[in-house]
Amino acid sequence: MDSIFEIRDIIEEFVSRYETLIKAAIRFFLALLALSVVNSRLGYMERLDSTTVVVAVSLLCALLPPGMIVFFSSLFVILHCYALSLEAAIVVLAVFLLMFLLYFRFTPQDTMAVLLTPLSFVFGIPQVMPVIYGLKGSPISALSVGFGAAAYFTVDYISEAEDKIRGMKDATTVERFRTILDGVIKNNTMMAYIGAFVITVIIVSIIRRLYFPHAWTVAIAVGILVDMTALIVLAGKFDAEINTGRLILGSIIAAVIAFVYKLFTFSVDYAKTERVQFEDDGYYYYVKAVPKIRSKIKRKRSREPDDE
Amino acid sequence: MKESIDGERVKLMTRMASFEANEGKEAIRICNYFRSDYVCLNVVRAIVSATLSYFLIMALYVYYNIDRLLQDIYTMDIMAMGRKLITAYVVFAGAFGIIAYVVYSFRYDWAKKNLSDYNYALRELLNMQDVNNG
């Protein structure tokens, strides 16, 4: 266990030393990943479906606040949908606008859930999102993850129904619009996932706040089990299709990721390392303040010279 | 002669600078308003958001049901329909306004508490400076 803490300390030191660069690199790769996934799933507008555009926009995202990755990804989705059909673009734009107007305007810190939840679906580990948001957020974060799942299934439907939408050339605009809106809203699998995610976030968030030993570990374990059970029950209720094998595998990977997340945030929050500047009458101060918590091994090592 | 660096003062100033750079930024921005102004402004914004959302949902509903609505337009009770729509709007925007009132009142109280801790640290810093200056 101590070796894990040692590795964590090395990573923590490295991250705090190159924090600005690493954060920019993470924003760049996240944008690159999100835009590449959007292009591979939709990719109807040729101008956007090019490596140059994706890399250029990702570089821009590296310099901008993280919320801009969500903005550009949404813009890519809407433009691709527009290239497929105007009605699809209207439906997707309406879904995104409603999410922003009704919820994310009030909790901008949770906006990344709209990006990360769909990405977790793409990688086959959607179970990780409700557990992580339950650990880091509050029960209200259930809505963020729920909206993230809705965003994924909206894009997924457009991608799956491409041939159907293209085949409706003779249909009227209203008929096309109705078909797409029906497909987006009346999605039983989406309902099952949203229901399971909401229940999981609330339960994990409540357990994590309780005062008893290993509350975080228990919260993760219970969260994974609740998520699996709720998903199977709701899938049966909504008559939705769930691949049980993938669900179990995804849950195991999600549990591992959640424990790694716990290791970095519960024991030591490297993000709490601060670099501040201020001045008084005599000096300019450039201070780097690092949290005092360190692994047992490190504390032991730092004591060794004194002990000898 | 140049004065030496006071470790305690640096610690205090570091904490204050860290607060100013992080949660303090939001707290200072919020506390620039009076409580009633801040809460009212955000309730109004929430109601504007709710209004836009309501019209967007209505537009989607009308477009979705356009055939049926055009067919029934001459037989439907327009006044009753209007009353229903207005009631739905008032309930929707009202609920949103109430939620916004609760959320932003809570946020203002949080910011005020944080800022009072910061002001306490500021007074402590001034006292240190006074002691140093003799």
CA distances from A50 to A3, A83, B35 (A): 44, 15, 50
Assess contact for A31 and A71: CB atoms under 8 A: no
Of residues A168 and A62, more confidently modeled: A62
Q: Where are the domains of chain B?
A: 7-129
Could you give the percent of chain B with pLDDT greater than 70?
93
pLDDT, average across residues B103-130: 85
User: Would you state the pLDDT for residue B4?
Assistant: 63
pLDDT digits (tens, 9 = 90+) for A69-81: 999 999 999 999 9
Lowest mean pLDDT among A107-116, A122-131, B37-46, B104-113: A107-116
- H or E element that contains B118: helix B78-132
Count CB-CB contacts under 10 A for residue A172. 11
ipTM: 0.74
Query: CA-nearest residue of chain A to B99?
Result: A106
CA angle, residues A58, A62, A65, in degrees to nearest 5: 115
Alpha-helix runs per DSSP H in chain A: 2-17, 19-41, 51-63, 67-84, 86-99, 113-122, 128-136, 141-160, 162-166, 173-185, 188-209, 215-238, 244-262, 296-307
User: Would you state the pLDDT for residue B110?
Assistant: 87
User: Would you state the pLDDT for residue A114?
Assistant: 86
Please answer yes or no on whether A289 and B14 come within 8 Å at the CB atom.
yes
User: Would you state the pLDDT for residue A131?
Assistant: 92
Distance from CA of A125 to the nearest CA of B (A): 32
Q: How far is CA B95 from the centre of its chain?
A: 16
Of residues A228 and A291, more confidently modeled: A228
pLDDT, average across residues A104-111: 78
* Model confidence at A308: pLDDT above 60: no
User: Would you state the pLDDT for residue A97?
Assistant: 92
Interface probe, candidates B1, B10, B102, B106, chain A, greatest A C-beta count within 10 A = B10
pLDDT, average across residues B116-120: 83
Query: CA-nearest residue of chain B to A287?
Result: B14
Residue A141 exposure: Cα atoms within 13 Å on the Cβ side: 23
Contacts of A277 in chain B (CB under 8 A): 17
* Model confidence at A307: pLDDT above 50: no
User: Would you state the pLDDT for residue B1?
Assistant: 46
pLDDT digits (tens, 9 = 90+) for B56-90: 999 999 999 988 888 888 888 888 989 999 999 99
Cβ-based neighbours of B85, under 8 Å, separated by 6 or more: B58
Banded pLDDT at B123 (limits 50, 70, 90): confident
Please answer yes or no on whether A94 and B17 come within 8 Å at the CB atom.
no
Spatial separation of the C-alpha atoms in residues B96 and A103, rounded to whole Å: 10
* Model confidence at A290: pLDDT above 80: no
pLDDT digits (tens, 9 = 90+) for A145-175: 999 999 999 999 999 988 888 888 788 888 8
User: Would you state the pLDDT for residue B119?
Assistant: 83
Contacts of B5 in chain A (CB under 8 A): 283
